[in-house]
Structure 1
Amino acid sequence: MGHSFVVTGGGRGIGKAVVERLLGDRNTVVAVEHDPAALDWAGPRVIPVIGDAADEEVAAWAADLAQESGPLRGWVNNAAVFRDASVHSAPIAEVRALIAANLDLAVVGCATAVRHFLDAGTPGAIVNVTSHQATRAVPGGLPYATAKAATEGLTRSLAVEYGRRGIRVNAVAPGTVATERYEAFMAAQPPESAAAVEEQLATLHPLGRVAAPAEVASVVAHLLSDDASFVNGATIPVDGGRTVLGLDPEAR
């Protein structure tokens, strides 16, 4: 019998790539999604849980299903809410709600995973998916950037508090990734400017291109594995060097 994992937002983009990567070695993955159609592709070792990953009951259900399939080895908080808002124009209640919407996903997932690892008396690993925006904010993205920065603080705090209990907590901070959301954004560009927009996004990354979801998933899988057994409290940029670039062209 392999291990089991929980991946929130596991139906598309980075989450789907993580699920696919973790399925090796007879593992089982519980994928939490709010949209059932996002998991139409799921095979026999992918257990779908349809619901809000920030709901404590949904998260507990996912953990129980994972444990029934094999020892719960790791938890990936990937689900996110993408909505821009600015404090000068949006109601403050809306801004606060958007920050909470993203931060709650990480807090609930981390708390559920920690409790299950402690109850089982087994070590475990958690990976939070944050963003380059946690350290390099872009205009309009205040709620998302704020929540992701807080999630990186949460990652460090949990790593310190539970490291001695055998629980490692790390994060990955992607740059631009060619997910379905990225493809939809590109498809919405006017034909005459689409190539220029794509080139601009590529130049934000010193490697000269955006990432594939599988490239982020490989780092997540590494952090969950024994190969990263002494990595704890780290946020790993998976951004092709975007955060170490000088002035971010997107901020101009």
Structure 2
Amino acid sequence: MGASYVVTGGGRGVGRAIVERLAAAGDAVAIVEFDASALEWAEDHPAAARLLPIVGDASSEEVADRAARAAAGMAPLRGWVNNAAVFRDAWLHETPAREVLNLVGRNLDPVVVGCAAAIRHFLSGDPAGTSIVNVSSHQGQRAVRGAFAYATAKAAIEGVTRALAVDYGPLGVRVNAVALGSVATERSEGHLAGLAAAERAHFEREIRLLQPLGRMGRTTEVADVVAFLLSEQAAFVSGAIIPVDGGRSAVGRDPEEVDPYRSDAR
């Protein structure tokens, strides 16, 4: 067994795909997950002997330290992925500011706590070549209406990523982030399944307009980029925010745009 990693929010969706991608390479992975039922799949997984379920809140310093120690007990701890997120929001004119700040913290706190635990454990040994990947969103740069707390937290996470890359780069610790577009997960599939046919068609059209590749991303595609950033192949990449969004961050919507692929546009 070569190395170990910690992945927060690793029970479902993008987090699970990252866990499985790392485990497929023969490494050990501590999976931090608040919902114990989301970890049941790990018991029967082919890599079960190298998967270490940690039930608890990723924003808890005790939980983060427990995950780091569990992973390091299997193999040297070489990487940490801060993926845990909460999809709740509020309008600032309707909600007390302190409550909104708490919502920001629900997404920012686990990242800061995870980075702190990772860096402390890296520095207790040989930090050269260690790596952190934070999971951000396209909203870190381009906010969506009605998502003030989430967009604010993701922008802060990108700031954390750059600052820590500067602070700990001289010791050999790399810190990067992936900024995700719309990615198909169990959560999104459940939402789409509840839509009427016309609403689903509208959603799919919007995705085609927003993401030039014309579709939702796959969790495995995110996992591949995260695994690359954790690897020695990315040894000179640090402080970077990598869009994994099908081109969403590159496109500028034009209300007068004509779709050249439509038959009636010619």
With the length of structure 2 as denominator, give the TM-score of the two structures: 0.91
Residue 143 of structure 2 is aligned to residue 137 of structure 1: yes
Match of 2:241 among 235, 238, 251: 235
Match of 1:110 in 2: 115
Match of 1:53 in 2: 58
> Counterpart of 2:80 in structure 1: which amino acid?
W
Residue 160 of structure 2 is aligned to residue 154 of structure 1: yes
Distance 2:34 2:202 in 1: 34
- Map 1:1-252 → 2, pairs under 5 A: 1-42=1-42, 43=45, 44=48, 45-123=50-128, 124-247=130-253
* Structure 1 residue 32 displacement after superposition: 0.4
Distance 1:227 1:221 in 2: 10
DSSP 3-state at the match of 2:184: coil
* Structure 1 residue 94 displacement after superposition: 1.4
Distance 1:206 1:240 in 2: 6
* Structure 1 residue 231 displacement after superposition: 0.1
> Counterpart of 1:120 in structure 2: which amino acid?
G
* Structure 1 residue 217 displacement after superposition: 0.7
RMSD: 1.2
Q: From the CA coordinates, give the structure whose radius of gyration is larger.
A: 2
Change (3 A) 1:145 1:248: farther
Change (3 A) 1:248 1:158: farther
Judge conservation of contact 1:204–1:248 (CA < 8 Å) in 2. no
Can you list the C-alpha shifts for 1:2-23, whole angstroms capped at 9, x where unaligned? 2100000001111000001001
> Counterpart of 1:10 in structure 2: which amino acid?
G
* Structure 1 residue 248 displacement after superposition: 8.3
- The alignment-based identity, stated in percent, is 57
Mean Cα deviation higher: 5-14 or 181-190: 181-190
Distance 2:203 2:145 in 1: 17
> Counterpart of 1:240 in structure 2: which amino acid?
G
* Structure 1 residue 213 displacement after superposition: 0.4
Match of 2:263 in 1: none
* Structure 1 residue 135 displacement after superposition: 0.5
DSSP 3-state at the match of 1:130: strand
DSSP 3-state at the match of 2:122: helix
> Counterpart of 2:146 in structure 1: which amino acid?
G
Pairs aligned (count): 249
Distance 2:134 2:243 in 1: 12
Structure 2, unaligned stretches of length 5 or more?
Answer: 256-266
* Structure 1 residue 133 displacement after superposition: 0.3
Match of 2:258 in 1: none
> Counterpart of 1:222 in structure 2: which amino acid?
F
* Structure 1 residue 40 displacement after superposition: 1.1
Distance 2:208 2:187 in 1: 16
* Structure 1 residue 247 displacement after superposition: 2.9
Distance 2:26 2:211 in 1: 36
With the length of structure 1 as denominator, give the TM-score of the two structures: 0.96
